Amino acid sequence: MTPQDALDKVFAPARLAGLALRNRVIKTATFEGMCQGGVPSDDLVAHHARMARGGVGLSTVAYCGVSPDGLTFPDQMWMHEGVFAKLSELAGAVHREGGAVSAQLAHCGFFSRNRPQNIPRPRGPSACINQYGLFSGVPFAGAMGDADIRKTLNEYRDAAAFVKRAGFDAIEIHMGHGYLLSQFISPATNKRSDAYGGSLDNRLRLPLQVLAAVREAVGDDFPILAKLNLSDGFAGGLEIDESCRAAQRLAEHGLNALVMSGGFTSRSPMYLFRGESPLQQMIPLETNPLQRTAMKWFGGRLFADSPYTEMYFLEQARRVRQATDMPLVYLGGVSSRDSLQRAMSEGFDFVAMGRALLRDPDLVRNIQQQGERYANGCTHCNQCVASMGLPGGIRCVLNRPESFAAVR
């Protein structure tokens, strides 16, 4: 495949299960911070409509919680009738711009500072110290029992039917980054001795059951993607060999496409982001004084600068490409025309982008018009990560340099 053929493939119409897309560029799920009190805002609608207006084929709404006890903190939304009208409005806005929209269904498991009524503590695969909730009144997490698992499967099923009814075109099941399903998959956090722990097949049991529940809710032609770690990014976690086998199992169970990612929010966030640490911008935005102090003293261990290179997950992603014929979405360090070309040349089916699209929502159209002259300008400063906590939500600070003026 020549470089021009690869670029033509990126921007040509494509299909994902029963969905026709205008190109192979996906706006990946990056938490928007636009649901104050759990209510989707006009900013959230405008954010995804803007991505579609710029030419993105599929825009992903981040962290659509499947239940109130599946939220990391209160300013996230969960799928219930109170958010239906706004999500329908969002889907319609994206469609009017010629794009398609996906909902990332998620559950936090034990990683939570949230304490809904009648839920004494968050639950995950195994009992543990919940470091994220240590200073917020939820320092301990319990192990899910059979009733919890049945409840969670029903919640995923209901949430999938809900977002399809709201007009969404696809679903991404979040199986990465240290949230519930990732906690079950990772040997570092799953210490169970029953049918849901031990071997990889057992650790995959709940994720595969969730996939089946979502499929039951949406039907055979509706696209289901999953985000899966290539590696958890720390010793003792999921590594690439097991990730390849997990991809094979997901393909066998009817997954339509796999978004390849990495890192644990609670242990190795910079493994995903790469580039400069956003810690100094995050600290002033923390409202809990104990948590803010902990971030000052210990945050440098989690949020250390990490060298950025284009396509930093490529070597691991190649391993998955060799392991399965399932459609694969390349994610990780794509901010240039050459990287888009290379992703297609390497045999991946779609390309997902986050920071580069925050920097330039018109990236797709600008590359098509400017060709080799295009330069995205993202510096990988990762201050967009901290901006999730600002009024109005996520933004590129290069585009809005005043963003942090009030908190510095």
How many CB atoms sit inside 10 A of residue 303's CB?
Answer: 22
Considering 63, 179, 196, 312, which one is annotated as catalytic?
Answer: 179
d(C-alpha 271, C-alpha 89), whole Å: 35
Structure tokens belonging to residue 377:
């300008």
Report yes or no: 387 and 405 within 8 Å, Cβ to Cβ.
Answer: no
98: left (phi over 0), alpha (psi -120 to 50) or beta: left
Nearest alpha carbon to residue 231 among 112, 328, 312: 312
What is Dmax (Cα atoms) for the chain?
A: 59
**407-to-253, 301, 395 alpha-carbon distances in Å:** 48, 23, 15
Q: Is 271 noted as a catalytic residue in this protein?
A: no
Nearest alpha carbon to residue 256 among 117, 58, 392: 58
Q: Is 171 helix (H, G, I), strand (E, B) or coil?
A: strand
**Paired residues of 77 in beta bridges:** 64
Structure tokens belonging to residue 307:
């060298």
Nearest alpha carbon to residue 261 among 60, 90, 124: 60
Q: Which residues are catalytic?
A: 179
